[in-house]
Amino acid sequence: MPGADKETDLSERIESFLSELKRCGSGAGSLRGSAETARETTALLRRITAQARWGNAGELMEIIRKEGRRMTAAQPSETTVGNMIRRVLKIIREEYARSRGSSEETDQQESLHKLLTSGGSSEDNFRQHFTHLKANVIEAINELLTELEGTTDNISMQALEHIHSNEVIMTIGRSRTVEAFLKDAARKRKFHVIVAECAPFCQGHEMATSLCKEDIETTVIPDAAIFAVMSRVNKVIIGTQTVLANGGLRAVNGTHTLALAAKHHSTPLIVCAPMFKLSPQLVILLYKNYFFVLILSKVNAHCPVFDYVPPELITLFISNIGGNAPSYIYRLMSELYHPEDHEL
Amino acid sequence: MEKDTTQKLVEYFRAQIREDPDVASAVAAIRSLLEFLKRDQSETILGLRENQTKAIQRLEETDSSVAVSSGGELFLRFISLTSLEHPDLSQCKNVMIERGELFLKKISLSRGKVGKLCHTFIKDGAKILTHSSSRVVLKVLENAAADNKRFTVYVTESQPDSAGKLMAQKLHNLNIPVTVVLDAAVGYIMEKVDLVIVGAEGVVESGGVINKIGTYQMAVCSKAHNKPFYVVAESFKFVRLYPLNQQDVPDRFKYKADILKTVKDLNQEHPMIDYTPPSLITLLFTDLGVLTPSAVSDELIKLYL
């Protein structure tokens, strides 16, 4: 039966995606960047929308939420998966509201204004059936995919405004976004980059090699030298794994040190992060991400993978929609996600 | 005749607080205003509004807290922010009363919502510092305790009314280990605590809060020690004030109602509240969600524009 085939095909794909996610954490699977994860998640959600059986928006949202919970449980440290699911849920809500004809501006956000002007409880069940809903949702997801593909370019386009000639820029580890950012600026400006190597995996070395290929003058320094060198640095530009709801960061270990050193020297700290890294969570359990390194047989070294950087240390966020202050992140969050989806 | 009705209003308000000591003063005020509206004999909508405004002023004279003022204003907005085009006055009045009941129902649920949001931020083994007696903070700690989290609480005594001892008693009844500390001991105790949670009497436009005297001190101390400073407040406490410093807070909020009426030289009196600027606050927990201080002004603009 063709229906059953589609379903088994769909569930196979979901299972393979889940197992890929699980393998990523242990380091055995293909090391993928967050952009690829975001793209694959969105493509999978589009497939679910197209192939799964659902009668109305409410059922579709339930299916996506259920699959979403499994995906986030498979790899809790990969927050882009959860973010994409929330984006798609918001898309479904918007398309549903549009089909119903009601105005789609802030009519579903909890606000003091809404508390005062609404009459009666506004429980929207999403149970109405619309024939064009599927097509509309798939089209909107396609737009989302196009947006995802253009994020790195959008960020790099802003490079020339922030990097000037003869500047010394510091960065840490390896971020593909920052790499593209610096390479774009290097086409027209001459500047110097200092890369902190970010032990123990020393991804900074790869970053330095890649930057050298574009004729950018690069220096690699050990993490312990960050503070010592900071007085010579004009700007610090970093990438991050996640941007939290309060404007803080969850970034590769060593970033908090870098941020504190920058604050001490009043050096601006710029974070290049595409919008799909924005997560509505505030409290992320950091203590679960560790690599255990056995140096001697009787010594265990705990090596946390991520750092939390509080929002007071950050000067500017550069994302594909422009530059923003950390105190503005809550606003961007309310535009991207619906408050009921914060908890999947 | 007028004095009689306003007198009844004040009595009703006081009775509400007596019967249910757990109720927020703003909720009691709004209930009284709703009763007043039901009994109002005006012939025009303008008359109704004027009487409501006078009633709010009368209540502010009885209980000079910021929450009563903000709750009253929001109530008035809520009931009148609807189309009152009915030709019959009694119909309009019924609409207003209905909306009043609805508003009351919504805000009675606020405290529960805040409690649910905030208790996830309390980790197992945490040491919490709080100031004076706040029913919202109590609800948060109650929820955290119900979630089987172990934590200890330090409460400041909070003179001149020793409200902190009341809070300690309530926490003791919930089987939460609690210690009362002197107001002056906040700096001493700050290195031991993990986080600070306080309530608020009012949340101002800048994202700062107005709360019992001593809160500002606690906030400055927690900033110096890099401890998170959380504020829990329901959304009806959002008020349209923008104080830039302590002097900017109006006198009618700073001192108790009876002192304002009897005392000539306020400089000799002790203020009951102070203003904590938003730069010292980490997060605000409200029934509208977890907000950063900069998000508060957004909410207020959405409301009043």
Residue carrying the six token digits 């640095």: A233
Q: A36: which residues sit within 8 A by CB, 6+ positions away?
A: none
H-helix or E-strand spanning residue B134: none
Across the interface, of A117, A119, A330, the residue whose CB is closest to B292 is A330
The DSSP secondary structure of B2-49, one letter per residue, reads HHHHHHHHHHHHHHHHHH-TTS-HHHHHHHHHHHHHHH---SSHHHHH
- Give the pair of three-digit tokens for residue A78: 């990969």
Among positive and negative, which fits the CA dihedral A71, A77, A78, A84? positive
Q: Is the pLDDT of residue A155 over 90?
A: yes
Cα–Cα dist A287/A275, whole Å: 25
- Under the banding of pLDDT at 50, 70 and 90, the label for residue B98 is confident
pLDDT tens string B122-138 = 889 999 999 999 989 99
CB atoms within 10 A of CB A306: 21
Nearest CA in chain B to A310: B282
Task: Suggest the residue from A116, A281, A342 to mutate for an interface test with chain B (most B CBs closer than 10 A).
Answer: A116
Question: Predicted confidence band at B46 (pLDDT cuts at 50, 70, 90)?
Answer: confident
Q: Do A120 and B102 touch (CB under 8 A)?
A: yes
Q: How confident is the model at residue B86 (pLDDT cuts 50, 70, 90)?
A: confident
Query: Which residues partner with B71 through β-bridges?
Result: none
Q: Are strands B178-181 and B151-156 parallel, antiparallel or unpaired?
A: parallel
pLDDT tens digits, residue range A244-268?
998 999 999 999 999 999 999 999 9
Nearest CA distance, B3 vs chain A (angstrom) = 30
Whether residue B33 contacts residue B59, with contact meaning beta carbons closer than 8 Å, is answered with yes
Q: Give the burial class of B125: count Cβ atoms within 10 A of its Cβ; 0-12 exposed, 13-18 middle, 19 or more buried.
A: exposed
**Residue of B81, B287, B290 with shortest CB distance to A117:** B81
Distances (CA, A) of B93 to A31, A119, B37, B53, B82: 66, 16, 8, 16, 12
Nearest to B295 among A119, A282, A330 (CB): A330
Residues of chain A neighbouring B294 (CB-CB closer than 8 A): 327-328, 330
Residues sharing a CB contact under 8 Å with residue B189, sequence separation 6 or more, in sequence order: B129, B154, B181
> What pLDDT, in 10s, does the model give residues B229-245?
999 999 888 888 899 99
User: What confidence score (pLDDT) does residue A294 get?
Assistant: 60
The crossing angle, in degrees rounded to 10, of helices A57-74 and A2-26 is 30
Give dist(CA B62, CA B13) in Å, integer.
9
Q: Read off the pTM.
A: 0.86
pLDDT for residue A104: 45
**B contacts of A329 (beta carbons < 8 Å):** 292
